[in-house]
Amino acid sequence: ACIHSLEEVFNLFENNPNELDIETAIDVINTALSFDLNDQVEKIVRYLVRDNLDNNAILVRIKQVYADNNIEEIGENIINETKQEIIKINNEGAKLLKDGKLEESIEFFMKAAKAMPNNSTININVAYSMIMQMEKSGKINKYYARAIRYLERVLETDPNNQKYHQLMRMIQSVTNKAA
């Protein structure tokens, strides 16, 4: 019965990963690991790491669940591989930004933010790309509200993020120039 319930949770997760809150996800991971359902667990862990890369407390909890199940190294490997994947994604978007391909960087980071809505770094980068495009084009209306929404996500997940405050000042400066 428990394995059947876990299968239902995995199916629900496949269809809508954002609906699985952190506490439930940690419980599911722990229970599923005790049944050696490592492959199904890995999908959830990778999602949690991608979405919460800047939240060390969550990463520590995930590591602890693996340690409690005597497979600490597997957990470490999944977390490290996923971190490298995020760094690669971020670097790709940053290169587009650096090369002046602002619209492309916006699209790239928006796609990444859709997959990782709580990832502060990705949300910062999509907002920064939008601010740079507003500054370059002078077209504020196209991106202002969206940039603010991405920055609000950062504030929700990481209220002490210094880049959040820096970008809020930048966006205010850009809108003041355009006024």
Average pLDDT of the chain to the nearest whole number: 91
Q: How far apart are CA 171 and CA 140, in angstroms?
A: 9
What sections of 69-161 are H helices per DSSP? Answer: 72-98, 102-115, 120-137, 144-157
Query: Considering the chain, what percentage of its residues have pLDDT values greater than 90?
Result: 68
pLDDT at 73 over 90: yes
pLDDT at 14: 86
Mean pLDDT of 58-62: 94
pLDDT at 178: 74
For the chain, how many helices (H) and strands (E)? 9, 0
pLDDT in tens, 104-132: 999 999 999 998 898 999 999 999 999 99
pLDDT at 58: 92
CA max distance for the chain: 63
pLDDT at 120: 92
pLDDT in tens, 34-56: 998 888 899 999 999 998 888 88
Q: How far apart are CA 145 and CA 91, in angstroms?
A: 25
- What b/e string do you get for 21-47 counting C-beta neighbours within 10 Å, with b at 16 or more? ebeebbebbbbbbeeebbebbbebbeb
pLDDT at 142: 86
Contact 131, 140 (CB under 8 A): no
pLDDT at 29 over 90: yes
| Token couple for 111 | 């796609």
Instruction: Tell me which DSSP letter residue 20 carries.
Output: S
Helix (H) or strand (E) holding 8: helix 2-15
